[in-house]
Structure 1
Amino acid sequence: MALYALRRFFSLVVSLLVASAVIFLVVEVAPGDPASFMLGINAQPDTVAALRAELGLDQPKVLRYLDWVGGMLTGDFGTSYTYRTPVSQMIADRLAVSLPLALYALALSTAIAVPVGLYAASRRGAAGDMAVMGATQLGVAIPNFWFAMLLVLLFAITWRIFPAGGFPGWEKGFWVNMRALTLPAVALALPQAAILARVMRSALIDTLGEDYIRTARAKGLTRPQALRRHALRNALIPVLTIIGLQFSFLLAGAIIIEQVFYLPGLGRLVFQAISARDLIVVESVVMLLVFAVIMVNFLVDLAYAWVDPRLRARA
């Protein structure tokens, strides 16, 4: 297990180094100069040059890349060109919204999908299975922003159970903020739950054809008992893969939902930074999101080894 984890950790480090170089190059070659954008089209050349020197944009790209990577290793992401505040503080403020939202939505998605997938697999071909597959197909097809607006119309405007948008801040209390995040989390979770439920059902059905399941059934276990006691754990590997990918998507791809509910999360920060040509913020936030994706995949790989002892044996 230790050797398996070490190999995966080495792969994680290499992936982060490659990702950092690609992100820096892609952002740096984008057209437009941040200093010229900030000062406007009528700015004098010497004023633009002075601002470029102040922002460090006149240094060679290699030195800027090394300074950026070295700063990230110590928690220093630099200073925003537009807001003149530490990028790390801006990310921390926005992450305090995006991370709980992603975890909340992932918990809801998993809590819905696992029992639904179990139910559909245990009734394969029956009316209940067909109903579940139809509902999940509808959940995949509906755009989450349209579903979010529908939730606002019903639960915020008509019934006034949840707020329509905004984020009070954690200093206002835990439950107040969780209430504000409920509708966005549901809007994000239901489409992901539909995908996860379909994967869960397919994985369970594939597992039911294995010899050990037939042996368990021959010993007297019912189909639902064989599903829960034997098939479920062995069907978790593809499910864990989807859960890892979903967390990455929920953390990085919630920009539309954040716009609908006016949440100050990472998605809106990236959108605002791109609009303002604030390259250091774009680079840092994208690198943080890439780190989250790679780290989640690393943890999923470790979960594979925990679920499937054969992987530990090969290592």
Structure 2
Amino acid sequence: MLVYISKRLMLVPITLFGIILINFVIAQFAPGGPIEQIVAKMMMGQTSTTAGISGGGDMGMSSDALAAAGTVHSNTTYGLDPELLEDLQKQFGFDKPAHVRFFTMVWNYIRFDFGESYFQNRPVIELVIERFPVSISLGLWSLLLIYGISVPLGVRKAVKDGTHFDFWSSTVIFVGYAIPGFLFAILLILLFAGGQSTFNWFPLQGLTSANWNELDWLDRVIDYFWHITLPIIALTVGGFAYLTMLTKNSFLEEISKQFVLTARAKGIDEKRVLFGHIFRNAMLIVIAGFPSALIGILFTGSLLIEVIFNLNGLGLLSYDAVIKRDYPIMFATLYCFSLIGLIMHLIGDLCYVLIDPRIDFETRQ
């Protein structure tokens, strides 16, 4: 197993390099960029030329910013002084060749030095650490809810296979699966968080109330769950179908095996057969898929949910960075997501071995 883990860990930097390279190239050819964002604000009178050059106001940049990708058309002056645009290019580091900026970025990322945000005047690592707990809490609560409901429901459906309960429960979970998470989130907001014809039971956005610091610990817990209820519901409603059917089919496969028929023929209690003989084998693929499921929730579903409910997590941070072309944040969050994803996939493989020692990945060619 140590050999297999070593091989997987050796592939991590290679995979990260490939992911960063592909996205760097895409950013090179994508229209727009941070300079265009600044120029647009200058032309709209939202910031001063002095602020953009000197690093004052909201446009301060650090020397680490040159590691980000980006282009600006040299033959386009936007009606401004060409010298001003040249100064902006130098400040962002875009006057350097693309390969120099790329390898500078890679070297900084190896040391987890993500530079500073173009538009927030703060180190990117501080922003990531600040937003990370929000995304993790949202993902963990959603995943626990999905597993807490889907596994018992899947077992029940396997026991009641072919009955009315099996049919109607499948109908409900597949309807939930068919509704996009972001659309269901908007529906929840319209029904329970805003508008004159709604119940207005939950807050419209945010993770805590304005008077959070004034509350005692119990009220803080209540306030937290009050705010996170709708986002979790929106995030989990589409996740029940896959895990429920996976659990059901896994149990049905084990139920039909010879050792189960033998146990029943011996007169062993049905509950003992179900949980003593079937449960461990059937739950192998379900439990081992926990890390992969967490990756799916964190990196796909949570992004839109954070944007819709205005939750200050990594999803909202990444979305704002893409809109503003804040490349240091864009590439830093991509790097963190990729690194966490690779590690979680390795943990998922290890879970298979811990649950069933008969599995040996070292024998795979």
Q: What TM-score do the two structures reach when normalised by structure 1?
A: 0.88
Residue in structure 2 matched with residue 304 of structure 1 by the alignment: 352
- SS of 2:238's equivalent in the other structure is helix
Residue in structure 2 matched with residue 168 of structure 1 by the alignment: 208
Give deviations 1:272-294, integer Å, cap 9, x for gaps: 21221222221111222222222
- Counterpart of 1:279 in structure 2: which amino acid? Y
Larger relative contact order, structure 1 or 2 (CA cutoff 8 Å, min sep 6): 1
Q: Displacement, 1:121?
A: 0.9
Residue in structure 2 matched with residue 220 of structure 1 by the alignment: 267
- Answer whether contact 2:263 2:273 (CA < 8 A) is retained: yes
Q: Displacement, 1:114?
A: 0.8
Residue in structure 2 matched with residue 85 of structure 1 by the alignment: 122
Residue in structure 2 matched with residue 209 of structure 1 by the alignment: 256
Alignment CA distance shift 1:4-1:97 (3 Å): same
Task: Say whether 1:273 aligns with 2:315.
Answer: no
Alignment CA distance shift 1:262-1:67 (3 Å): same
Equivalence map 1:27-38=2 (5 Å): 27-38=27-38
- SS of 1:129's equivalent in the other structure is helix
Alignment CA distance shift 1:224-1:140 (3 Å): farther
Out of 171, 186, 190, the residue aligned to residue 233 of structure 2 is: 186
Out of 282, 285, 292, the residue aligned to residue 330 of structure 2 is: 282
Residue in structure 2 matched with residue 71 of structure 1 by the alignment: 108
Q: Displacement, 1:304?
A: 1.0
Out of 42, 55, 58, the residue aligned to residue 79 of structure 2 is: 42
Give deviations 1:41-67, integer Å, cap 9, x for gaps: 333222122122122222232332232
- Answer whether contact 1:118 1:227 (CA < 8 A) is retained: no
- State the distance in 2 between where 1:92 and 1:146 align: 29
Give deviations 1:286-306, integer Å, cap 9, x for gaps: 222222222211110110111
Task: Say whether 1:126 aligns with 2:163.
Answer: yes
- Answer whether contact 1:98 1:266 (CA < 8 A) is retained: yes
- State the distance in 2 between where 1:286 and 1:27 align: 13
Q: What TM-score do the two structures reach when normalised by structure 2?
A: 0.77
Give deviations 1:68-121, integer Å, cap 9, x for gaps: 223223332111222232111222222232121111111111111111111111
- SS of 1:140's equivalent in the other structure is helix
Q: What is the Cα-based RMSD across aligned positions, in Å?
A: 2.5
Q: Displacement, 1:313?
A: 7.7
Q: Displacement, 1:314?
A: 5.0
Alignment CA distance shift 1:314-1:75 (3 Å): closer
- Counterpart of 1:89 in structure 2: which amino acid? E
- State the distance in 2 between where 1:268 and 1:195 align: 26
Q: Report percent identity of matched pairs.
A: 29
- State the distance in 1 between where 2:297 and 2:285 align: 18
Gaps of 5+ in 2: 41-77
Q: Which 10-residue stretch deviates more, 84-93 or 114-123?
A: 84-93
Q: Displacement, 1:28?
A: 2.8
- State the distance in 2 between where 1:197 and 1:300 align: 19
- State the distance in 2 between where 1:219 and 1:70 align: 65
Q: Which 10-residue stretch deviates more, 77-86 or 8-17?
A: 8-17
Task: Say whether 1:111 aligns with 2:111.
Answer: no
Give deviations 1:207-265, integer Å, cap 9, x for gaps: 22233333333333344433322322223343246533332222122232223322122
Q: Which 10-residue stretch deviates more, 226-235 or 188-197?
A: 226-235
- State the distance in 1 between where 2:235 and 2:311 align: 13
Residue in structure 2 matched with residue 230 of structure 1 by the alignment: 277
Alignment CA distance shift 1:224-1:33 (3 Å): same
- Counterpart of 1:36 in structure 2: which amino acid? E
Residue in structure 2 matched with residue 9 of structure 1 by the alignment: 9
Out of 155, 161, 181, the residue aligned to residue 144 of structure 1 is: 181
The structure with the larger Rg is 2
